[in-house]
Amino acid sequence: MTQTGAGVIGDPLLEAPAVPAVGEAAPDFELVNQFGEPVTLSELRGRNVVLVFFPFAFSGICTGELCEIRDNLALLEDADAAVLGISVDSKFAQRAYAEKEGYSFDLLADFWPHGAVARQYGVFDAESGMAKRGTFIIDAGGTVRYVVVNPRGQARDFTEYRAALAGLGGN
């Protein structure tokens, strides 16, 4: 490995894989939710899954996006979709955030190893130590069917989720 000013070239913690493309298998993972319970992506097979990576709990844009999901959760559930919000915050921060905002869906702690799942999905920003705003809709068979990664400071469009899920149909 070669040393640089930003880190070590060849260090797997600094080099993130590419964002999974539509049609690829979704990388499997296990993280704990806000209650410390393990959630494994592959155990959700048979249902559609909406993965929503967000930078940090309690931040403005993130709260707006997740509140929109909260307020429209029935639409996602009608598409037989489980919602998983993922950030690098601890399970303790995730629980306080979920309680404060009334989120009934799982918030997963990608806390340690720091951002490991965000790295798997190609949405970890090593410079800032946070996840980018990445959304992945995964079908019941575990295949990625929709991907969007928004630039910093730009909220996602919830209507795009609905259209992507409508294309999958219920199971």
Active site residues: 62
> Residues 145, 137: contact at Cβ < 8 Å?
yes
> Residues 142, 43: contact at Cβ < 8 Å?
no
- Cα pseudo-dihedral 80, 109, 121, 16, rounded to 10: 180
How far is it, in rounded angstroms, from Cα 130 to Cα 143?
25
The distance of Cα 33 from the centroid of its chain, to the nearest Å, equals 12
How far is it, in rounded angstroms, from Cα 87 to Cα 148?
16
